[in-house]
Amino acid sequence: MNCVKFLLFLELVFYFNNKVFAQGSCLKTYTNISIYGNDLNGVQGTISQCCQLCQQKLGCRAYTWDSFNGGTCWLKSATQPLSKVDPHGSGYSITGILSPSVNETYTLNQTYAAPNFFDTWHFDGWGLTNVTRDVDKQTAQNLGMIGYQNGKVYIGLDHKNVYNTTGRPSIMLQTNYLYNSGLFVLSLDHMPTGPGTWPAFWTAGPNWPNHGEIDILEGVSNMTSNLVTIHVGDNCYEKTNDSMFFTGIWNGDKSKPYFNCYQYAKKSSNQTIIFDIALCGSWVSLFIPGGEAACEEMVNKHPELYTEAYWLINYVKVFCKPNEPCGFYEPKCEFQC
């Protein structure tokens, strides 16, 4: 799968040098996009009046205009959640977002990229399924599973050797930093594909699922859409399905009931960022003729099916707000760090 850019955990984002603004300027508007709820109030007015009305209203960060009551500027305390549907059913809507305050400005904190990507992540071995044989750095190097190609980071499976029953060597990489907030941008050129593959870019906390799991980019075999999922405790489960973008807010205390489950997502804490390529397992095998046994046999015996099962990463960038340190160093390694 060829990918462009995935913007993660974000409010609306604009780049300028190495700064990312949590909101755009008043001049930038979005047609037929609405912000649901988070109304400070609704003021009758034309589209061109909304920005100023928002600027004059304490706590206003954005507005949605629609034709309700002859034209209404809905002044919003938040820039989320965005929707393509107009909540008042009038069809046409415009959303504008105000320039950020300094405290709302994200600044680049870390860049994970060549040439030292593999020094800043550790190799872990969760072995998510019984044919996913996560290996350490040395083994990965020896088998040609990791490397740098034209300034990009390559992470793949062993696609050369036959493994009779032991499972195929794979990789689970985790950041040495743990995160509790932030803006994360992944740019990649290639995502793993191949029958029985289950690649993911995701985060997880130490006490699963109570500390949360955010699946940002996840697919199975040759699936053409992305599965975005938030897993948490308390029987809460949230999934959206968008092949390109996931938007949402993850910011500690400021809980907002965007999703039924949003109240639980704030429990996500001390998250490591993870790249992995799992193989088969009960879910993935549903997509394989013959089920799990056939999937495992295929994975073990057919290295030639896995030449496309690799990540090719330009970078992962982490942005933080001032006064809100978003990550701290605490490597948790199964293999040596």
Ligand X SMILES: *[C@@H]1O[C@H](CO)[C@@H](O)[C@H](O)[C@H]1NC(C)=O
List residues near ligand X by CB under 6 A.
Answer: 31-32, 91-92, 101-103, 109, 130, 162-164, 195, 221-222, 224-225, 241, 269-270, 282, 292, 296, 320, 323, 325, 327-328, 330
Distance, CA of 317 to CA of 108 (rounded, Å):
7
Tokens at 259, concatenated = 């999703």
Distance, CA of 176 to CA of 15 (rounded, Å):
26
Do 73 and 42 form a contact (C-beta atoms < 8 A)?
yes
Of the pair 105, 314, the CB lying nearest ligand X is at: 105
Tokens at 68, concatenated = 């309700």
Of the pair 237, 328, the CB lying nearest ligand X is at: 328
Of the pair 128, 154, the CB lying nearest ligand X is at: 128
The least distance separating ligand X from the CB of residue 206, rounded to whole angstroms, comes to 6
Distance, CA of 219 to CA of 127 (rounded, Å):
17
The least distance separating ligand X from the CB of residue 1, rounded to whole angstroms, comes to 10
Distance, CA of 62 to CA of 94 (rounded, Å):
11
Q: 254 Cβ partners below 8 Å, 6+ apart?
A: none
Of the pair 154, 318, the CB lying nearest ligand X is at: 318
The least distance separating ligand X from the CB of residue 150, rounded to whole angstroms, comes to 26
The least distance separating ligand X from the CB of residue 259, rounded to whole angstroms, comes to 16
Tell me whether residue 99 is exposed, middle or buried, using C-beta atoms within 10 angstroms of its C-beta: 0 to 12, 13 to 18, 19 or more.
middle
Task: Please list, residue by residue across 297-325, b when 16 or more beta carbons sit within 10 angstroms of its beta carbon and e when fewer do.
Answer: bbbbeebebbebbbbbbbbbbbbbbeeee
Task: Please list, residue by residue across 188-200, b when 16 or more beta carbons sit within 10 angstroms of its beta carbon and e when fewer do.
Answer: bbbbbbbbbbbbb
The least distance separating ligand X from the CB of residue 313, rounded to whole angstroms, comes to 20
Of the pair 29, 314, the CB lying nearest ligand X is at: 29
Tokens at 131, concatenated = 């044919």
Distance, CA of 265 to CA of 255 (rounded, Å):
9
Of the pair 138, 330, the CB lying nearest ligand X is at: 330
Of the pair 150, 164, the CB lying nearest ligand X is at: 164
Tokens at 240, concatenated = 């959206």
Torsion of CA 293, 306, 133, 198, to 10 degrees: -70
The least distance separating ligand X from the CB of residue 34, rounded to whole angstroms, comes to 11
The least distance separating ligand X from the CB of residue 336, rounded to whole angstroms, comes to 20
Q: 327 Cβ partners below 8 Å, 6+ apart?
A: 109, 110, 175, 177, 178, 179, 180, 182, 318, 320
The least distance separating ligand X from the CB of residue 208, rounded to whole angstroms, comes to 12
Helix (H, G, I), strand (E, B) or coil at 312: strand
The separation between the first and the last C-alpha atoms of the chain, rounded to the nearest angstrom, is 31
Do 295 and 221 form a contact (C-beta atoms < 8 A)?
no
Of the pair 130, 187, the CB lying nearest ligand X is at: 130
Of the pair 154, 319, the CB lying nearest ligand X is at: 319
Q: Which residue's C-beta sits nearest to ligand X?
A: 325
The least distance separating ligand X from the CB of residue 68, rounded to whole angstroms, comes to 14
